[in-house]
Amino acid sequence: MATVSALDIENLEIIRNGVDQFISACAKRLAMRDGVILDIAPQTYKGAKGHFPATVKIETLDIDPKTTPTYVADICQTNAAISTDRFDVIVCTEVLEHVVQPFLAVEEIRRMLKPGGCLIGTTPFNFRIHGPLPDCWRFTEHGLRALFQNFEKIEIQATESPDRDLMPIQYQFIAWKAKRS
């Protein structure tokens, strides 16, 4: 069994708190009163639930049927059971590092978003390999901009590592689909 360092324990706490705070800030910014949100792979974490009013419908998607999501699906594939332009917001936190084909996953997310909709996302950078496996990627700000090149706009912020320039613990981002495709 691998030994988990004190740094990784600290960074995990920062990552989890960062996800929660970022979703909360985005929910306040969007001020949704109705609509449909897709939360991708929230597993046992809070995810989008609790950050948006009860009048907003939250559906879930996960590749693992044991998590009892609304949709059992792989975001690296086109999922015919989910209509194009269905969701006002998609929440995808700490997931993209686990997909084998991130460009396909982002394109499927874009397909499912309504025109003018947004993706609320996070991904770790300075963090150990972790489950659920596979854990395939670490994205820099430049990589995220390339990954979301087909979106109209992306806003990215980094949670910096203390005393370690250019090695953020986590990236948080909101990507907007164009109002007209």
pTM, two decimal places: 0.96
Asked, for residue 77, whether it belongs to a domain, the answer is yes
Asked, for residue 94, whether it belongs to a domain, the answer is yes
pLDDT, mean of residues 54-65: 95
Asked, for residue 49, whether it belongs to a domain, the answer is yes
Other beta carbons within 10 Å of 150: 13
Residue 3 confidence class, pLDDT cut points 50, 70, 90: confident
Contacts of 10 (CB under 8 A, 6+ apart): none
**Is the confidence at residue 181, as pLDDT, over 70?**
no
User: How many whole angstroms separate alpha carbon 63 and alpha carbon 69?
Assistant: 9
Task: Report the number of distinct structural domains present in the chain.
Answer: 1
Q: Give the pLDDT confidence score for residue 144 in this predicted structure.
A: 98
Work out whether strand 87-93 and strand 153-159 pair parallel, antiparallel, or are unpaired. unpaired
Asked, for residue 181, whether it belongs to a domain, the answer is no
Cis peptide before 132 (omega within 30 of 0): yes
Asked, for residue 126, whether it belongs to a domain, the answer is yes
Q: What is the pLDDT of residues 103-131, one digit of tens each?
A: 999 999 999 999 999 999 999 999 999 98
Structural domain span for residue 140:
6-176
Asked, for residue 1, whether it belongs to a domain, the answer is no
Q: CATH number, domain at 102?
A: 3.40.50.150
Q: What is the mean pLDDT of the chain?
A: 94
Asked, for residue 99, whether it belongs to a domain, the answer is yes
